[in-house]
Structure 1
Amino acid sequence: MTLAASLPTSVLAGDGFYLPPEESPHQRTFMQWPVSRKVHPDPVFLDMTQDAIARIANAISEFEPVTMLAAKSDHARARKMLSAKVELWDIPTEDLWCRDAGPIFVTNGKQLAIRHIQFNGWGEKQVNTRDARIAEAVAARLDLPLLPTPLKGEAGGVEQDGHGLLAAHESSWVNDNRNPAMSRDQIEAALLDAYGADRMIWSEGVWGEDITDYHIDSLARFTGPGRVLINLPAEPDKSDPFHMAALDTHDALEAAGLDVDVIYEPDRRRVKSADFVASYANYYVCNGGVVAAQFGDKQADAEAVAALKRHYPGREIITLNVDPLGELGGGIHCATQQMPAI
């Protein structure tokens, strides 16, 4: 039976291509090597960031093949830090966020294609001369169709279950820095078509307070049909726009009839800065494993592992210290992009 045959026909929208669930089998994982000194002016912190990316790639490579995208001139440095299991491709990069700038692979059950949601540096907030071309370069390297969309945005800004349901924050899409000429209804229709879905849950999100305009993948993740794992503050601060938006998203997911499982943010984490992203929800599911962050709060870290075991039984849970990514506003899921098996 093909993947397409195993899904409801309603999932196969538009041209018949759809994005399978992240937990379905992968051919490989794609990642990006961070190098730009315009993005990372501190050379010491850039070294720390590269080390974190290498450790994520090496952990995933124990479960499935990993391809690291980097300009040829950056391969020697990367090779010293990467496992021999990680393959390097000569595709130039600036930053590490492959979930956003990288290829979005879709399938019709018979072949793969790349859906082209155009990356523009989160609304031209960051240099993206190289990163904006990555999806096209990967499509050319793999000789895959590049399927156009009218959208500018990032895959980290929409969560999908692979069974016809999407969720997103309006702030990451209905925003003049991405899609100024499109209404929410037009954006929704384009997203549903791009992902091969038929239903969408919106909540407002937060405009202009972080580079992503509050990507949903650092807050809530689908773990199967009708199931969501969401990372909430244990004691919400009514003056914090992210706390209030997180609660709104929780309520919208529950109102949609989903089974919403809450895990709480760490309290005693290593990095104390207010803008540090301490998200247990920003994990990555690979073949046989889940790679997630730990933040140094033993109780909260253990509770997060227990939640991941509940939602992904039979998979090995690997936790890593990736604090540099949290300081940059993201996490492990933001740094990865899956290529589905067909």
Structure 2
Amino acid sequence: MIRRPNRRTLLRTGAAAVLAGAGLSACVPGGDNASGERKPRDQRRRMPAETREHVRTFMAWPPLDSVWGKWAKDVQGDITGIARAIAEFEPVVLLAAPTEAEAARRACGSGVEVIPVPVDDLWMRDTGPTFVLGANGPQGVDFHFNGWGGKQEHTRDARVARAVLDFADVPRVDAPLTAEGGSLEVDGHGTLLVTESSLVNDNRNPGRSRDEIEEALKDLLGATKVIWFKGVRGKDITDYHVDSLARFAEDGVVLLSRPPKDAAPDVWIRAYDQARGVLESSTDARGRKIEIVDLPEPDPAELGSRGHDFLGCYANFSFADGAVIMPRFGDRKADRNAAAIVRAAYPGRKVVQLEINDVAEGGGGIHCATQHQPKA
């Protein structure tokens, strides 16, 4: 992938012992019921595909006292653009520090609801809850965000999942492991894509085996088939989230972010090759062979001055009702090609491309900055 110096990495503040505050929302056990009896998974919770109709999208306003420093206002501009674009299709709720809520309202306009909640940064996909549907309605899984394995201190963001669930009036599921929403990709029919590097990692789940983590994810998300990619450890702050690698299109079809053909071999190309090999030999939860559609990344030579950690990844897009909100990077040919591939993958949806270079400076994208709440 094309990456430039990650502000989240460069400005990290060290390991964080991040503990969520005491209850805002009702809590639902993360594992089996209180009697210890295991419920059949089809009677429990499940994570639907992101293409399902949404109640709303949640986002966060990066505060001026965040790790972005002098770039904070530029990044706020990108967040404004994303929020306004999504609000054309569905409700958007933006969390902002109480002292900055009015500025966020002025920037985003009346189409975006701003609520005063202290936040550390903009990465709502990871700090917010992962919504699932249970037998009795929606629930929100709190995966105990810990600053991507203690790489940064996020004491305010550690409480964001609870604040979101309190606002949405959705019961909280207390997950028995640590993860981030960007590390999870589902097809809505039982198939889950994840990377080992971000989950089977002592910075999040010390001493836990892959099998143990897989069982917990199946219980939490209703998955029946987990496809594991090796990923990359320690090269970006997320330890390589799957939402910058592979995304489901229609059933049995995966969009795979492909590095430029002439790029020199590196850890990202090896990760792509490994993921492609896994998908080529895998079937989904319904037993279908997976079809791979490459989503080529932009040519670094067409992007001007970009550093090592710039996230030039079209796969990090977000859904809104009737639309796909995706990035453009300035490589006109690659931008057009990516939009055409995404448009073909999600027929009937309007494809909206936004320039998000300042957010991309932080090693993230539009998907990273949003968290959707699906309709029951």
Deviation at residue 269 of structure 1 after TM alignment: 2.1
Partner of 1:66: 92
Partner of 1:163: 189
The correspondence for 2:68, drawn from 40, 44, 54, is 40
1:118 counterpart SS class: coil
2:306 counterpart letter in structure 1: K
Deviation at residue 236 of structure 1 after TM alignment: 6.0
Partner of 2:133: 107
- Cα distance change on mapping 1:270 and 1:21 into 2, 3 Å: farther
User: Does the Cα contact within 8 Å between 2:66 and 2:72 map onto a contact in 1?
Assistant: no
Are residue 137 (structure 1) and residue 128 (structure 2) matched? no
Deviation at residue 145 of structure 1 after TM alignment: 1.2
2:127 counterpart letter in structure 1: A
TM value normalised by structure 2: 0.84
Unaligned runs of 5+ in 1: 1-11
Q: Residues of 2 paired with 1:156 and 1:116: CA distance?
A: 13
Q: Residues of 1 paired with 2:324 and 2:190: CA distance?
A: 23
Are residue 265 (structure 1) and residue 297 (structure 2) matched? yes
Are residue 20 (structure 1) and residue 48 (structure 2) matched? yes
The correspondence for 2:230, drawn from 204, 211, 233, is 204
Q: Residues of 1 paired with 2:127 and 2:43: CA distance?
A: 23
Deviation at residue 39 of structure 1 after TM alignment: 1.4
Partner of 1:4: none
1:279 counterpart SS class: coil
- Cα distance change on mapping 1:60 and 1:207 into 2, 3 Å: same
**What are the equivalent positions in structure 2 for 1:79-158 lying under 5 Å apart?**
79-108=105-134, 110-158=136-184
Q: Residues of 2 paired with 1:236 and 1:259: CA distance?
A: 24
**What are the equivalent positions in structure 2 for 1:231-242 lying under 5 Å apart?**
231-235=257-261, 237=263, 239-242=265-268
User: Does the Cα contact within 8 Å between 2:64 and 2:73 map onto a contact in 1?
Assistant: no
Q: Residues of 2 paired with 1:173 and 1:293: CA distance?
A: 26
Q: Residues of 2 paired with 1:55 and 1:321: CA distance?
A: 9
The correspondence for 1:76, drawn from 86, 102, 116, is 102
Q: Residues of 1 paired with 2:83 and 2:137: CA distance?
A: 26
1:235-254: CA deviations, max 9, x gaps? 26564111111111121112
1:40 counterpart letter in structure 2: W
2:228 counterpart letter in structure 1: W
2:160 counterpart SS class: helix
The correspondence for 1:274, drawn from 301, 305, 308, is 308
Work out which structure has the larger RCO, using CA pairs closer than 8 Å and 6 or more positions apart in sequence: 2
Q: Residues of 2 paired with 1:302 and 1:243: CA distance?
A: 23
- Cα distance change on mapping 1:161 and 1:335 into 2, 3 Å: same
Q: Residues of 2 paired with 1:164 and 1:36: CA distance?
A: 41
Q: Residues of 1 paired with 2:280 and 2:304: CA distance?
A: 32
1:265-323: CA deviations, max 9, x gaps? 11112452222110000001110111000011111111101111111111111000001
Identity between Structure 1 and Structure 2 (%): 43
User: Does the Cα contact within 8 Å between 2:326 and 2:354 map onto a contact in 1?
Assistant: yes
2:253 counterpart letter in structure 1: R
1:164-191: CA deviations, max 9, x gaps? 0011110000111000021110011111
**Bigger shift: 232-241 or 115-124?**
232-241
Question: Number of aligned pairs?
Answer: 329
- Cα distance change on mapping 1:238 and 1:271 into 2, 3 Å: closer
1:334 counterpart SS class: coil
- Cα distance change on mapping 1:194 and 1:14 into 2, 3 Å: farther
Unaligned runs of 5+ in 2: 1-39, 283-288
1:297 counterpart letter in structure 2: D
- Cα distance change on mapping 1:35 and 1:273 into 2, 3 Å: same
User: Does the Cα contact within 8 Å between 1:34 and 1:93 map onto a contact in 2?
Assistant: yes
Q: CA RMSD in A?
A: 1.5
User: Does the Cα contact within 8 Å between 1:39 and 1:127 map onto a contact in 2?
Assistant: no
User: Does the Cα contact within 8 Å between 1:121 and 1:128 map onto a contact in 2?
Assistant: yes
**Bigger shift: 285-294 or 223-232?**
223-232
User: Does the Cα contact within 8 Å between 1:36 and 1:94 map onto a contact in 2?
Assistant: no
Deviation at residue 81 of structure 1 after TM alignment: 0.9
1:25 counterpart letter in structure 2: E
1:23 counterpart SS class: coil
Partner of 2:324: 290
Partner of 2:253: 227
Deviation at residue 140 of structure 1 after TM alignment: 2.2
Partner of 1:311: 345
Deviation at residue 216 of structure 1 after TM alignment: 1.0
Q: Residues of 2 paired with 1:108 and 1:52: CA distance?
A: 34
User: Does the Cα contact within 8 Å between 2:66 and 2:121 map onto a contact in 1?
Assistant: no
- Cα distance change on mapping 1:200 and 1:77 into 2, 3 Å: same
Deviation at residue 82 of structure 1 after TM alignment: 0.3
Deviation at residue 152 of structure 1 after TM alignment: 0.7
Q: Residues of 2 paired with 1:271 and 1:323: CA distance?
A: 11
TM value normalised by structure 1: 0.93
